[in-house]
Structure 1
Amino acid sequence: MSMPQSPVQWRQVKAWVFDLDGTLLDSRPDILAAASDTLVDYGHAPLPAGYQLPNLFGTAGELVRDVFVERGYPAPTDLVRLRAEFEAHYAAQNPSQARLYDGVPQWLDWARQQGVALGICTNKLERLARDGMQQLDIAEGFGAITGSDTYGVGKPSPEPLLRTLVQLGVAPQETLFFGDTHADAACAQAAGVRFAWHSVGYGDARVQALPQVLRYAGYGELLHQVGAQQPALSL
């Protein structure tokens, strides 16, 4: 059952914080390849073509552990090592197959022109987040980029999002958090931040049971919304 939504008053929003994978960029091919290479490191067969990852919302160690479990292999107990091996494979992919969702550059450009503060709150390592944003040429103008290692905790804990807001110098009620999974929605709810759901990302039905002020399938429709409110905007 979907949570009811109320219209977003864009003039009241001073900061936009984004999840990264499944929200601004589709990195599923890179994640899949790195998980497959990690399985091979442990003596298992690579993942089959078309494999659907069971966990695209947790930290890297949790993500790969759940692949082991789904494939029927003993789950490694050393998540630090597991995460490090996955992240090494992820970082080594050249070229990356990650791509921005349609309309992302235009949406971020609009925000920069209006003086909206921009931040990233992701469950991947901060270094990998920064590298990926540089490669895709979207890093400019972000006042805060936090990963699961920045403060030692990942979503759905509200802590990384709240600390991102401290870096940006904004209050929770002035912020809109864009994400795609229930971990993002739960993080926003616990932090007292309004949530915008990217419904074509990596989330599942669990996100629909959590509060959201906006559901969108593409950034073009968001540009249309802010364009319609443009005369009234006072950011």
Structure 2
Amino acid sequence: MLNTLPAGLKLHSLLTQDDVRGLVFDLDGTIIDSAPDIIQGMRLTFEQAGLDQLPSDYFPDDLHGTRDGIMRSIIADMGWQVPADFESLKTRFVQNYAALDHMNTSVYAGAQDVLEACREAALPMGICTNKIYESAVSATHKMGIHGLFDYISGSDSWSQAKPSPVPLLETIRMLGLKPEQCLYFGDTSVDAECARDAGVRFVLHTAGYGGSSLNDTPRDFMFQRWDELLVA
């Protein structure tokens, strides 16, 4: 059974506007904090491939792309040579990440309350992430939020990944809605660019993985804590 909101709280007016008919969310850095498991999966993969170890306090600048993009960014950041068999490296990361089973991943505080309230308000909801589809489904199941979403789209669901607008447009289409009827929640410039090119209003989660690249990013609304989307 879905939880009810604490007494006296309701959804922010952003979510109850007449022209908002559906919501689409990025996953990593927006709904869930998955960085510890992603980085550990990368660390294990690089070590197994014979590359040097990542520093214990390492945090990549790029944690918002596809696994291909994140891996290449880390390799460049560390000054390593790209392995000849990069496809094998990507496959190994998927295996290592899956084996971690999201053990150090968590839902951002307050996010589930907001999502459940949106579900109770009968708002169709989808996920559009650069995680591969299998990992996205696994993560939402593990976090206990899978049933809140009508559709989940991964980086391998379509011919292109974000920042292309294609994944977001297709996710909205699968919800039976139009771009102008939806809000897209994300935490990075990749999400903002995707929303802009799709003609979708963008809501920025500033506590995610976006960093300084978000300084000049257009947004229709922004929040740091999920409980900001609940008002008395």
User: Aligned residue for 1:105?
Assistant: 112
Q: CA deviation at 1:77?
A: 5.1
Q: Is the 8 A contact 2:204 2:222 kept in 1?
A: yes
CA separation of 1:39 and 1:167: change in aligned 2, threshold 3 A = same
Code of the aligned partner of 2:210:
G
Q: CA deviation at 1:128?
A: 0.5
Q: CA deviation at 1:9?
A: 6.6
1:27 aligns with 2:34: yes
Q: CA deviation at 1:21?
A: 0.3
1:115 aligns with 2:122: yes
Q: CA deviation at 1:148?
A: 0.4
CA RMSD of aligned residues (A): 1.5
1:82 aligns with 2:95: no
1:129 aligns with 2:129: no
1:92 to 89, 99, 102: 99
1:10 aligns with 2:16: yes
CA separation of 1:110 and 1:95: change in aligned 2, threshold 3 A = closer
Code of the aligned partner of 1:91:
A
Code of the aligned partner of 1:155:
K
Partner deviation per Cα, 1:11-63 (whole Å, 9 max, x = no partner): 22111100000000000100110110111122123212111113111100110
Cα distance in 2 between the residues matched to 1:191 and 1:68: 31
Q: CA deviation at 1:207?
A: 2.2
Code of the aligned partner of 1:57:
H
Q: Is the 8 A contact 1:61 1:82 kept in 2?
A: no
Cα distance in 2 between the residues matched to 1:220 and 1:90: 30
Alignment of 1:140-155 (within 5 A): 140-155=147-162
Q: CA deviation at 1:79?
A: 4.2
Q: CA deviation at 1:95?
A: 5.8
Q: TM-score, normalised by structure 2?
A: 0.90
Cα distance in 1 between the residues matched to 2:78 and 2:59: 11
2:56 to 36, 49, 59: 49
Cα distance in 2 between the residues matched to 1:10 and 1:77: 51
1:73 to 56, 75, 80: 80
Cα distance in 1 between the residues matched to 2:102 and 2:216: 37
> What is the total number of aligned residue pairs between the two structures?
219
CA separation of 1:141 and 1:95: change in aligned 2, threshold 3 A = closer
Q: Which runs of 5+ in 2 are unaligned?
A: 1-12
Q: Is the 8 A contact 1:122 1:147 kept in 2?
A: yes
Code of the aligned partner of 2:90:
R
Cα distance in 2 between the residues matched to 1:176 and 1:65: 31
Partner deviation per Cα, 1:155-207 (whole Å, 9 max, x = no partner): 00000000000100011111000000000000000000000000010002222
**Identity, % of aligned positions:** 37
User: Aligned residue for 1:170?
Assistant: 177
User: Aligned residue for 1:139?
Assistant: 146
1:208 aligns with 2:196: no
Cα distance in 2 between the residues matched to 1:190 and 1:78: 34
Q: Which runs of 5+ in 1 are unaligned?
A: 1-6, 228-235
Higher mean C-alpha deviation, range 34-43 or range 73-82: 73-82
Cα distance in 2 between the residues matched to 1:153 and 1:16: 21
